[in-house]
Structures are given as C-alpha cells and as structure tokens.
Chains A and B, each alone.
Chain A
Amino acid sequence: MEDFKSIISECIAGSQKAQAKLYHHFAPKMFGVCLRYAKDATEAEDNLQDGFIKVFANLKSFRQEGSFEGWIRRIMINGSLEKFRKLHLMYPVEDVEIYDSVNVSDDVIAKISADELVKLIQELPPRYRMVFNLYVIEGLSHQEIAKEMSITQGTSKSNLARAREIMKKKVHHIFGEINAQNNYMA
C-alpha cells in the first residue's frame, strides 16, 4: 500500500507517467474482471478503458487505508453494472422455474482453463452473466444482486439457476461427461 501512495499522489497531480505505471500494475487483473462481465473482448476493452478513466478522475476520493485493488475492482464492476442497466432494462422478468439439469463432475471443471471458462461465461445471456458473476465470483447474496440490478430476488435465483445449467451444458458439450438430474434450485 505504501508503494502506491506516492504513485497515487502523482496521478492526482496529473502525471501521465504515474498513471501509466498504475495502469500497467492493475490492468491485467482488471481486464480479467472486465472480460467476465462482458460479452466479448471489445466490450471488455471499453469497460476497462472507461473504468481506468474513472479511477484516475476519482483518485482523490480514495482514502488510502483499505485495499486499493479492491477499490479499483469495484469501479470496474460498477461500470459493467451501469452498462447493463442502460442496455438491458427491458429484459423480460422470469420467475423461479424447474429446469432439467445435467451433472458435470468437478474434476472436469477443474481441468478446464480459466480462459475457456471466461469464454463460456461470455456466451451467457447478459443478465445471467451478471448474476452468475456477482453471486459465484463476487459472493453477493440474491438480495444484494436484486438491489444492484433492479430485479427481484426470485429473478436473481432463477437467472443463477439458469446460468449454472447453461454453463454445465456447455462444459458437458465441450468436455463430455453428463449425468442427468432433475430439479436444480438456487
């Protein structure tokens, strides 16, 4: 943290050299975050670019006490949420439903690379992708997701269940092994 204090100060002062340094340090990880929330690499690049511009514009508001990386991460995720709200407000509401389920062995998932998993996530419908990321990766509750995305908790649960199923089917389709099961609930 101490290492970043001086860089942050220089960034606030407008030093492009310091901004470039900060960018180089965090950009790979943040691009990973953006890729998970975007439908493709182009959208992720846009989100990363907008996110870093906001980071530099709001560095003054960062109290140098907590996790700087966590702060930047929040900005990136909020940017993706904001874009989702703008573009997908008319997405139809769904209730909790029962889906035919497939069972994929954890061993199979463990063998899949992160790059391949990210591609599978990107192929999810926008709202499923958002809910999946927020619940599975970020650890938000359905109540919190509902509030952030202006949807009901039931819809969040439904979307998560559907997202999981799609993910499992894709994993099965690409990597084999299937055990049919029924009634998967969030």
Chain B
Amino acid sequence: MKDKNTDKLFREKLLDYEQQPPAYLLENVLAGASAARRNRRIVFWRAAGVAAALLLAFVAGWQLNYLNNETVKQPIVTSQNSSVKTKEGINDVINKSIGSNKIQGAKENGNKFSGTKDSGIMGQMTSRITHPEENTLIESMRTSQNEKSAMLHPLKTITRPIEINNHFKPILQVKKYNKLIADKPELTNDQEIIKQNKQLLRVKNETRKNAHWLVGAQVSPAYSVNRSSHSPQYESNMLNSSSQSPVELGGGLSVEYKRGKRWSLQSGVYYAGLGQSSENPSSSSTNLFAKADKGSEFFNAPVSIEASKMMINSSAGVIQMNGIPAGIVLGTNLEDKSLTTAVVVSDASFIQNFQYIEIPLYLRYTILDARFDVDLIGGLSSNVLVGNQTFMQTSSGKSQVGKTQDMQGLNYSGTFGLGLKYGLSKRIFLNVEPRIKYFLRSLNSNPAVNYKPYTIGVYSGISYQF
C-alpha cells in the first residue's frame, strides 16, 4: 500500500512534466522530416521502376513469343528420309547441294578435297573437306531489427490510465487531478474514443510491422540434365546425346516482398543459360565395321543437305547449320536408300546453347528463423528465349555453325529449392539457394521432339532489405 502511495506521488509530479527543449532542435527536426519525405519518394520511385521493368519484361516476352510463333517450321530431316527413294534421287540432291559447286569451290581455295571409293558399308564416295581456319550478431539483434520502427511497434496500453476501473483509477486521478469530479462524463466519452483509436492504430501497426522489401542480385552456375523423348524415326537419325552437358552461368536481379515472419513472394529478372551437347561416334574404320556387324544403333549421324545448308537431328531438335561446316567429313552418295543424303563420318560434337530471360514468381516459406534463415522455395517462371546458337567441336577447334530449329519463344518452368540466408548486417543478407528447375513443356515445337530438360543450380548473391 505504501508503495502505491509513493508511486502515486511520483506519477503526479512527473506525468505532465514539461521542459523547454533547446531551440536548435527544431531546425534538426524540420531537416530530418524533409529528408524522410525525400526518402519516401525515392523508395516509391524505386518500387515503381521495378514494377515498370517487370511489366516491360513481360510485354517483351509476349512480343518475342508472338514473333517466334510466326516463323515456326516443321522438321525437315525426318520427312526427307522417306522422300528420297532412289539412287538417282540421292545423287540429284547431292549434285544440287554440295555437288560440283561446293567441291569445286573448296578446290579453288586451296583446300584439300579427295574422293575415294569405299566398297564397304558407306557406298560409293566419301568426300573429305578440310579447312585450316578455326572458329555467382546474434538472434536478438535480428529481432531488434525487425522491430525497428517505433511506429511499427505498438505500445498497446499506453493509454491504459484513462480506463475506468480500480486498477487504473489512480492514473486518471493524476491526469485530470483538478477536474476529476466535474469532468467525469466528458472523460468517459474521451476514454471511448481513445480506446477505439488505440485499437485501430494497433491493428494498422501490426499489419505494417513485418512487411518489408528485399532487392538482391544473384549468380549461379547451372548444370543442365537432358530429359527428352523422340519419335522412332527421328531418333534413328539422331546424334548421340552426350553424357556431359555444359555448365552455363546465369544470374539476375530479384525483388522479394515479405509479409509476416514466414511467407514472402519473390520475383525478378534472371538470365539463364541452357546447354546441350551431342556427339557423332568415332569415324575409324575399325569401329564402323564392329558396330555394323552387331546391327546395333546408328554409328554415323545422317544429315540432310538442302540449299547448301546442312541439317542434323539432335535430342534438343534439328540443328540447322549456316552452310556445310569446315573441318567435317561427310559420307555422300549412299548405297543404303533408307538413309538420307549424307552421314557425318568425322569425330564431331555439337553444342547447343540457349539463353533465356527468366521472370519468376516464387513463394517462399521460412522453415527456420534463426541465425541462418532457411526457406523453402517453390514457384513458376516464364522463360523467354533470347539466344540460340549451335557450336561444332572437332579436333581442329570449336566454331559456331548454326542454330536449333523450332525452339519455342516462350516456355514455362517449375522451380523448387532451399534458400539459406545469413545477415551480414541489419539490412544486408548473403543468400545461397540450391534450386532445381524443370521445364513444363517441350522447349522445341517439333512434334517429333519432346525436349524438357531440367537444370540444377546454386544461386548465390546478396540482398538488401528496406
């Protein structure tokens, strides 16, 4: 009881205690308020800029997809196998394509050309054309950080002294000490209004409390794993898929909106590379005969040559080369009529590279909120094709030889993974995110090709919270 009386004395003296602050503080307050106002504008324009960039990216993706759909062509190699039926037919096509003009041109440039008779499997003539040229403090401090804004952290019962009950009565007495009896009805109304105001403010503050944005940049090496199926006819004329796929580098900017402790939504713009490697089997005569005897698999990749352009089937789709690549050995004038115009005889691997602009929409759930935050990530991405090249690797080097036909301009992928986040400071975080991405439909529109690879990448980067 004694303490209550003492407390009451303290309260009476201090509740309405006033002191004039130094005059210079006003200037600082006005300057600070003005700066805060400018900062809010900057944040607004930044957010607007990100939104505009995302919108533009979507529109660009849509347009690209529209343009690519206009130029989709059907596969050539598969249909040509059946169309070339006679020896004369084969010879005609060869004559039109790599016939005298090409070979003659190679001779004139000083390149070696040799025609040899092969009575074995290959048929009648093997043309050899060579070219010399080669072508990513402490848990309590974290808590403090989340509660940083005073406005965002509700002091729920600061207005409690004006509630009328036994516990708070003393405070009321202090606040309106000289007018307690006379103003009682007015106090009741005031009390109700303040109570409502307190509740509304609390709800609003709680809503804002945990909402914040993160922007970041990430890079990742991405390993592509081939996942494809093909029609039997297409497959019979197809290059071997290499067991070794190239590792591509990707990365980009991310924007994350976190509401509450657990859930957040992430988007951004990423550049993602995808690689596919295919090989032609060895051309040594020993291997050719050995495989022929077993009657197994193809041992040379058939090609189609039309209008001086060579086409060859790969697991990702038909590779259309700009011409007949230098440094490759072709077998033409084939005796086996079921085959197409020529086969690749020399050792060669074909590397198909595809570049995508990825616009993801990921949902993140924080399963561990500790020194290391651990998130579960899942979501969908729109992938806009922006690059399509094919390279040929031979003993003489690597050169770009063409592109892959019928690639879809826009595709969708699903992603899931884990996100590890470590706070370097109050606002800066280090992220490491192993993710698996798989395409939802074939990347190639050729009906004979169902190419849906998946990529494994470890995205690492940095993010800034505001």
Contacts and interface: CB of A to CB of B under 8 A. Distances in A.
Given A67-B159, A136-B7, 19 more contacts: A19-B29, A29-B18, A31-B19, A31-B21, A33-B17, A48-B25, A54-B150, A54-B151, A66-B194, A70-B158, A70-B194, A78-B151, A79-B150, A114-B17, A136-B10, A137-B15, A139-B168, A141-B157, A144-B157
Contacts of A115: 19
Interface string B133-170: 00000001101100111110101111111000000101
B75 to A, nearest CB: 62
A81 B155 contact: yes
A53 interface: yes
Nearest to A31: B21
Contact of A82 (B17, B147, B157, B158): B147
Contacts of B159: 66-67, 70, 74
B150 A78 contact: yes
A57 B159 CA distance: 22
A110 B11 CA distance: 11
Interface of B: 2-3, 5-7, 9-11, 13-22, 25-26, 28-30, 32-34, 36-37, 40, 140-141, 143-144, 147-151, 153, 155-161, 168, 170-171, 190, 193-194, 196-198, 200-201, 204
B14 A63 contact: no
Contact of B10 (A35, A49, A50, A117): A117
B143 A58 contact: no
A8 to B, nearest CB: 13
B36 A73 contact: no
B36 A53 contact: yes
B125 to A, nearest CB: 84
Nearest to A66: B197
Contacts, number: 180
A117 B9 CA distance: 11
A106 B6 contact: yes
A145 to B, nearest CB: 10
Nearest to A70: B159
A54 to B, nearest CB: 6
Contacts of A45: 21-22, 25
A167 B28 CA distance: 34
A176 interface: no
B155 A148 contact: yes
Nearest to B5: A106
B462 to A, nearest CB: 24
A20 B37 contact: no
A51 B150 contact: yes
Contacts of A7: none
Contacts of B21: 27-28, 31, 45, 48
A164 B4 CA distance: 11
B158 A36 contact: no
A82 B25 contact: no
Contacts of A144: 156-157
A96 interface: no
Interface residues of A, number: 71
A110 B5 CA distance: 11
5 nearest A-B residue pairs (beta carbon):
A66-B197, A78-B150, A32-B17, A56-B33, A53-B32
Interface string A127-151: 0000000011111110010001010
Contact of A85 (B25, B147, B161): B147
Given A36-B17, A150-B143, A164-B3, A73 B158 contact: yes
A16 B16 CA distance: 27
A107 B143 CA distance: 44
Interface in A10-48: 14, 16, 19-20, 23-24, 27-29, 31-33, 35-36, 45, 48
Contacts of A61: 151, 201, 204
7 contacts: A16-B33, A29-B17, A32-B17, A54-B150, A54-B151, A66-B193, A168-B6
B155 A118 contact: no
Contacts of A109: 6, 9-10, 13
Contact of B33 (A35, A52, A81): A52
Contacts of B7: 135-136
A89 interface: yes
A111 B19 CA distance: 19
B153 A19 contact: no
B192 to A, nearest CB: 10
A71 interface: yes
Contacts of A70: 158-159, 194
For A29, A81, A137, the residue with the greatest tally of chain B CB atoms inside 10 Å of its CB is: A137
Nearest to A90: B140
A156 to B, nearest CB: 14
A137 B14 contact: yes
Given A23-B29, A78-B150, A164-B3, A89 B20 contact: no
A35 B19 contact: yes
Given A36-B17, A73-B158, A58 B151 contact: yes
B146 to A, nearest CB: 11
Contacts of B161: 138-139
Contacts of B197: 63, 65-67, 71
Contact of A49 (B14, B25, B147, B148): B25
Contacts of B33: 16, 19, 52-53, 56-57
A66 to B, nearest CB: 3
Nearest to B171: A139
A155 to B, nearest CB: 15
Given A32-B18, A63-B200, A137-B14, A14 B37 contact: yes
